[in-house]
């Protein structure tokens, strides 16, 4: 497993941008990395993911607004969030997983989109 620490959350107005970062304590080059979010009273849902080969995928609700990227040299994964909406408000979690290991989760970072 791998220790993950998220940062970059905060309060932003609708239409604004935030960039979340997830720092891993060891190499992530062989891990699939993802960003998830959980709003109060709702389940935790996948937002975006990047596989070890660099391919990416997004939830329909964030396509065209969010971009996930990874820097294997720095052991970091980022989520650039643009055109934020109130419904993007949630705690955002970073997840690392690979075969034959339990998934690893960060502690989460709060994103609040409000005027």
Which residues 6+ apart lie within 8 Å of 30 measured at CB?
52, 98
The pLDDT of residue 48 = 98
The pLDDT of residue 1 = 87
Per-residue pLDDT reduced to its tens digit, 20-29:
999 999 999 9
The pLDDT of residue 44 = 97
- Look at residue 87 and give its three-state secondary structure: helix
Residue 33 confidence class, pLDDT cut points 50, 70, 90: very high
Per-residue pLDDT reduced to its tens digit, 36-95:
999 999 999 999 999 999 999 999 999 999 999 999 999 999 999 999 999 999 999 999
The pLDDT of residue 111 = 98
Contact 62, 79 (CB under 8 A): no
Sheet holding 66-71, edge to edge: 4-7, 18-24, 76-81, 66-71
């Amino acid at each position: 497993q791998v220790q993950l620490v998220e940062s970059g959350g905060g309060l932003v107005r609708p239409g604004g941008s935030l960039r979340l970062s997830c720092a891993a304590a060891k190499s992530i080059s062989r891990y699939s990395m993802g960003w998830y979010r959980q709003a109060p009273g709702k389940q935790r849902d996948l937002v975006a993911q990047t596989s070890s080969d660099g391919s990416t995928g997004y939830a329909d609700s964030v396509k065209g607004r969010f971009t996930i990227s990874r820097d294997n040299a720095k052991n970091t994964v980022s989520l650039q969030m643009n055109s934020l909406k109130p419904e993007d408000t949630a705690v955002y979690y970073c997840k690392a997983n690979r075969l034959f290991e339990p998934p690893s989760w960060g502690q989460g970072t709060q994103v609040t989109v409000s005027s």
